[in-house]
Copies of this chain bind each other. A is one copy, B any other.
Amino acid sequence: MKIGILGAGRVGGTLGRLWTSQDHQVMFGVRDPHGPKVRALLAETGPAARAASLAEAVAFGDIVLLAVSWAAVRDVIEQAGPWTGKILIDATNRLAPPSPDDAPSAAEDVARWAKQARVVKAFNATGSVNMTAAPYGAQKVDIFLCGDDAQAKAVVADLIASSGFDPVDCGPLANASLVESLAKLWMQLAFAMGNGPNIAFKLLHR
């Protein structure tokens, strides 16, 4: 699969390494494709990954992962388009205090800005240390996802499963605020409460 990744930070870099190791083709979309951070990342991923502009990465990808900090999200989305028909995985978290213009969730703001993209919220609710797909004993890490486009959500769920995670379908994009709250709870437990980042939420079934 051809995957565009906007951002080459912890989340984008970790998933880029994982996906290139699994025979996907990755293009990192970044402001400076020749910068030292991106060159170091490409040295790790090998020829299955390249770096280019934001718009080139969106044009390249069957799927595009949005993994930039919230402060940059709106600019990045607007510079990276056109988004028409693209599957956009929104991995962002909005940690700033709410403003009156905010949608109820970051994902719904992303959907508003990335006009005609097919937005799926995923890969936001856990730390990058869990995005190597290394399991917890016999249990895979859960990746919680939601979205309104059933076909796009199925493609993302397949990517999640084939990457070594368990997908957990949380329903429509209107539930994104709940998936984003899970991210905030993970951060509180990992950092404020001192558990460290080697923790993960698992949905048990019986």
* Chain A positions near chain B (C-beta within 8 angstroms): 136-137, 139, 168-171, 175, 177-179, 181-182, 184-185, 188-189, 192-193, 195, 198-206
Contacts and interface: CB of A to CB of B under 8 A. Distances in A.
Given A178-B181, A181-B177, A181-B178, A195 B188 contact: no
Nearest to A178: B185
A170 B200 CA distance: 14
A200 B199 CA distance: 16
16 contacts: A136-B204, A136-B206, A137-B204, A168-B189, A170-B188, A171-B188, A178-B188, A179-B185, A181-B181, A198-B205, A198-B206, A199-B204, A199-B205, A201-B202, A202-B203, A202-B204
A91 B44 CA distance: 49
B170 A185 contact: yes
A156 to B, nearest CB: 16
A139 B205 CA distance: 11
A171 B199 contact: no
Contacts of A204: 136-137, 139, 199-202
A185 B192 CA distance: 22
Nearest to A194: B169
Nearest to A195: B205
B206 A137 contact: yes
B199 A201 contact: no
Contacts of A181: 177-178, 181-182, 185
A184 B178 CA distance: 7
Nearest to A203: B199
B178 A193 contact: no
A93 B171 CA distance: 20
Nearest to A185: B178
Contacts of A205: 136, 195, 198-199
